Amino acid sequence: MTGSTKNARTRSSVVSSDPESGPPGNSASRLLVSIVNYRTGDLVVDCLRSMVDEVRSIPGCSVIVVDNCSGDGSGEKIAQAIDDNGWAGWASLICATENLGFAKGNNEAIRAFTASGRNSDYVLFLNPDTQIRPRAFRILMDFLDAHPEIGIAGGRSEDPDCTPQLCCFRFPSLVSEVSLYLGLGIFDRLVEKKLTRMGIPEEPTEVGWVAGALMMVRREVFRDIGLMDEGYFLYYEETDFMLRARRAGWSCWHVPESRIVHLVGQSSGVTRRDGAPRRLPRYWFESRRRYFVLNHGRAYAALTDALVILALGVQGLRRIIQPERGRTPGFTRDFLDHSVLLKRSKGLSPRKISA
């Protein structure tokens, strides 16, 4: 876990989580928690407040918040809360000079932590629009401690009323993409084992990938595959990371006993449940194209896009007969404009996959 922090500046230094341990040196800790914020300062403060007891129960736990140049006073609000509440023993803030996105923002937190001369057994990626249920961190740590062959674990995300959310999945594929946009129940039943959605397991379950809202990663995974791919601005970065980990021999598990409240879409504004569906941003389509080209090759990505466009056509005909609410504005046109069929990504070549 190495690299530079040339695109970010530290507002408050990374400090030891134990006030009596002295200045950080070449020492190890159990857990680093990374939170990337963009214009959700109040939610970050609530998130930090919800984890106070959890952090204090884990020796050597540190939390780093990266503010992605919010420009709305979020950084100042978070820094003030850290000072006012006496959290500086375990929490610190990095104020980036630009919006780095999710992958690079988290990478900056890891780089700053290691630059302070410390390492952690695990890194936990946590969304800013979350609140921590009791023992959520400890349960994931205990699970990974007990299973050294497992590289990544994620817990259950819930609504404030404890309704569980979908947060573990299979990897996207040609079949799952066609099924998603075709929207035919009979086809879904035929390819059920290929769909990305896996339901909501009640027991620890091996999965393809877990939502980045709560994702704990063993240090050795970074040693083997590196940090998150900074070519992703937002979306698909955690899916890509976990596929790389899987191909390097590390499995990923969903551990439902570890639970958080996730206020869905508050951090990105894209997947919010209130109001009508919003047009997806350009970076969503670019991330999707990057994922398929890097991990499956251009020919596979092109065939997938062609079949999805056909599926969207079938879906459009169905909507003429039976109009549906909740349609994402401009999706078909945006998908076509950003597809591999019409847009080539310069310098983007499929990864070489080791046997």
Written as one string, the DSSP assignment of 193-262 is GGSSB----SS-EEESEE-TTEEEEEHHHHHHH-S--TT-SSSSHHHHHHHHHHHTT-EEEEEEEEEEEE
Report how far residue 15's alpha carbon sits from residue 91's, in angstroms, rounded to the nearest whole number.
Answer: 8
CA dihedral 259, 265, 267, 270 (to 10 degrees): 150
Structural domain including 112 reads 9-165+203-262
Q: Tell me: pLDDT of 299 over 90.
A: yes
CATH number of the domain enclosing 241: 3.90.550.60
**In this structure, are 156 and 207 located in the same domain?**
yes
Give the pLDDT confidence score for residue 124 in this predicted structure.
Answer: 98
The string of pLDDT tens digits covering residues 117-159 is 999 999 999 999 999 999 999 999 999 999 999 999 999 999 9
Give the pLDDT confidence score for residue 18 in this predicted structure.
Answer: 34
**In this structure, are 236 and 317 located in the same domain?**
no
Report how far residue 280's alpha carbon sits from residue 179's, in angstroms, rounded to the nearest whole number.
Answer: 20
DSSP 88-105: TTTEEEEEESS--HHHHH
Percent of residues in the chain assigned helix, strand, coil, to nearest 5:
40, 20, 40
The string of pLDDT tens digits covering residues 216-225 is 999 999 999 9
Is 294 part of any domain? yes
Residue found by looking up tokens 């809360």 in the block: 81
**How open is the CA angle 65-70-74, to the nearest 5 degrees?**
60
Cβ neighbours for 327, distance < 8 A, ≥ 6 positions apart: 277, 319
Q: Tell me: pLDDT of 4 over 90.
A: no
Give the pLDDT confidence score for residue 343 in this predicted structure.
Answer: 82
Assign 346 a pLDDT band (cuts: 50, 70, 90).
Answer: low
Write the single-letter amino acid at 177.
E
Average confidence score pLDDT of the chain: 89
Give the pLDDT confidence score for residue 23 in this predicted structure.
Answer: 33
Q: Tell me: pLDDT of 296 over 90.
A: yes
**In this structure, are 334 and 215 located in the same domain?**
no
Is 318 part of any domain? yes
